[in-house]
Structure 1
Amino acid sequence: MPPVLVSTEIVIGTLIVVAVVVLATTYLRRRYIAKGLPLTLCGLRAAGTDRWRLGLIRFGDNALEWYTLGGVSVRPRHRWLRQRLLLEAPERLEGSDSIPLLPDASRVPCSDGETRFELALQGPAYTALRSWQEAAPPGYNVNVA
């Protein structure tokens, strides 16, 4: 058997194994991040910048957590407490500001006290975020008679 053929088979086999590992890691990371809680695709843009970063947001019990879309980290990159998170009126993303992976998305200006940022969400995700933000966390300010 020619050595070139053996080398080609080894390279192709290695590439297939690497692709399977990357796909499995991505799938397992997403499952671990969700932990049974709502998880959706969104864009994040810091105040004063023009660049959107795609990621996943998770609606936790008391905080909104944003994870990078790629990578292997299972820790949130940003975390905003529900009580401190302020959402402003959404505006439709149009033209050069639009995000191809989020068609018909809206820009939602937000702040958590001292930090200002924007989230890009599609309609149902914005509705879920607004509902989550306005809902009282379990045991918070509850009076049962």
Structure 2
Amino acid sequence: MPFWQWIVDLIVVLLILVVVCGCALVIRRRMISRNGGTFELSIRARSAQIGRGWVLGLGRYSGEQLQWFRIFSLAPGPRRSWHRSELSYSGRRQPADSEQMALYADHVIVMVATPDGRIEMAMNSASLMGFQSWLESAPPGADWTRRRPQL
């Protein structure tokens, strides 16, 4: 077999792999969002440099938890999740010039306090309103971590 045919075969195999990975990403996103409650949610993974460290993803409300999935991953489960009682809204800000290239166009940056420290999330204004409503929607005085006695 001539050398150029090996190159053509290699290119065809790589093209097929790219198409298969693209289809897998689309199927995964459909599976994540099939029950609703999903929205575009970016997380700042590294905060060492100003404006850097953002990872695009999807957020999903699942009962008392907020689950976060990386957008470009084939993993079926969430990368991170937080319980509603662990989160506290601290404020919001507009993205800096260097952050605007890393985030979606209409997103604002939200600071959230957790037991592990402060994290920054980026979401659009409508998703922020839903996030704040979800945080505040627990009944006053409800302790969701305590088990009820069995009768």
TM-score by length of 2: 0.77
C-alpha distance in structure 2 between counterparts of 1:84 and 1:101, whole Å: 25
- 8 Å CA contact retained: 2:113, 2:119: yes
Identity of aligned residues (%): 25
Determine helix, strand or coil for the equivalent of 1:102.
coil
Matches within 5 A, 1:62-77: 62-77=64-79
For 1:109 and 1:59, locate their aligned partners in 2 and report how far apart those are by CA, in whole Å.
18
8 Å CA contact 1:42–1:55 kept in 2: the answer is yes
How far the C-alpha of 1:135 sits from its partner, in A, is: 2.1
Q: How many residues align?
A: 138
- 1:8-63 Cα deviation digits (max 9, x unpaired): 44233213311221111101111222241222222212574342121111111110
CA distance in 1, matches of 2:129, 2:107: 12
Unaligned runs of 5+ in 1: none
Correspondent of 1:89 among 88, 91, 94 = 91
Task: Return the offset for 1:79.
Answer: 0.7
Q: Which residue identity lines up with residue 11 of structure 2 in the other structure?
A: I
Runs of 4+ in 1 over 6 A off after TM superposition: none
- Consecutive unaligned residues of structure 2, counting only runs of 5 or more, are 144-151
Q: Which residue of 2 aligns with 1:105?
A: 107
How big is each residue's C-alpha offset from its partner over 1:61-117, in whole Å with a ceiling of 9 and x where there is no partner? 110011112121112111111122111221111312324441132111102223320
* Alignment TM-score, normalising by the size of structure 1: 0.79
